[in-house]
Amino acid sequence: MEAVLYNQKGQKTEQKVLLPKEIFEVPMNSDLVYQVAVSMISNRKQKTAHAKGRGEVRGGGKKPWRQKGTGRARHGSTRSPLWIGGGVTFGPLTEKNLKKGLPKKIRRKALFMVLSAKAKDNCIVVFENLIGEKPKTKPMAELFGKVFLKKGTAIVALDKNNDNLIKSVRNIENINVMQTRELNVLDLLNYKYLVMTKDSIKVIKETFAK
């Protein structure tokens, strides 16, 4: 499969970029992609909610009244879940493990499926190079506006670390910038376009296709 190659001015060139068949021509299995996406969402959850149980609530060390002879129900502590100010039964706990592990082969296969779907839908934009000599947002926004920005959201995958380019891109609305080796199913599903350079394709092949 081939993709159109754009220059630094946002113009189509006569050259075509060859996308590796083993990565960008993988048949879609929506159930597998869904399974990987759900596991990633679960792994990213922040476990902040925590309810105190009866053993964690302060106080309640003294028995409210004697066991027998009062005519009232038996109670051993005022911090029982039955009492106001007592512990919570079956409340949320930070100790709960929400992580869902999947084999690396499955995660990579799902990644290739999503990349293939984007290539099939012409949602992969390849530039000859993305140069960020100075951290200026306006030139990059104008460049992306000529090619794809008016049509939807995008991930910009960098083949190498470039602080000036990162600073230029990260303030553009509906654009997310990351290193190519950090590409994943969930982020690709959340954005319509994948923007990268010719060298980024080499990084994808070296990182994920081995």
Nearest one of 11, 52, 37, 60 to 114, comparing CA atoms = 37
**Beta strands 154-158 and 175-179: pairing type?**
parallel
| The pLDDT of residue 210 is above 80 | no
pLDDT of residue 170: 86
CA gyration radius, the chain: 27
| The pLDDT of residue 164 is above 80 | yes
**Mean pLDDT along residues 89-117:** 89
| The pLDDT of residue 132 is above 80 | no
Q: Cα separation of 59 and 52, whole Å?
A: 13
% of the chain surpassing 90 pLDDT: 53
Start-end ranges of CATH 3.40.1370.10 in the chain?
A: 2-45+102-208
Furthest-apart CA atoms within the chain: distance in Å: 96
| The pLDDT of residue 202 is above 80 | yes
| The pLDDT of residue 185 is above 90 | yes
| CATH fold for the domain made of 2-45+102-208 | Ribosomal Protein L4; Chain: A; (3.40.1370)
**Mean pLDDT along residues 173-202:** 93
| The pLDDT of residue 135 is above 90 | no
Sign of dihedral through CA atoms 137, 138, 141, 147? negative
Nearest one of 184, 138, 153, 154 to 41, comparing CA atoms = 184
Sign of dihedral through CA atoms 147, 148, 149, 155? negative
Give the model confidence (pLDDT) of 59-82 as tens digits: 888 899 999 999 999 999 999 999
Average per-residue pLDDT for the chain: 89
Q: Cα separation of 52 and 57, whole Å?
A: 6
Task: Quote the tokens at residue 196.
Answer: 């990268």
% of the chain surpassing 70 pLDDT: 99
Task: Quote the tokens at residue 114.
Answer: 């999503």
Give the model confidence (pLDDT) of 39-62 as tens digits: 999 888 878 889 999 989 998 888
Measured from the Cβ of residue 1, the count of other Cβ atoms closer than 10 Å reads 15
**Mean pLDDT along residues 24-47:** 91
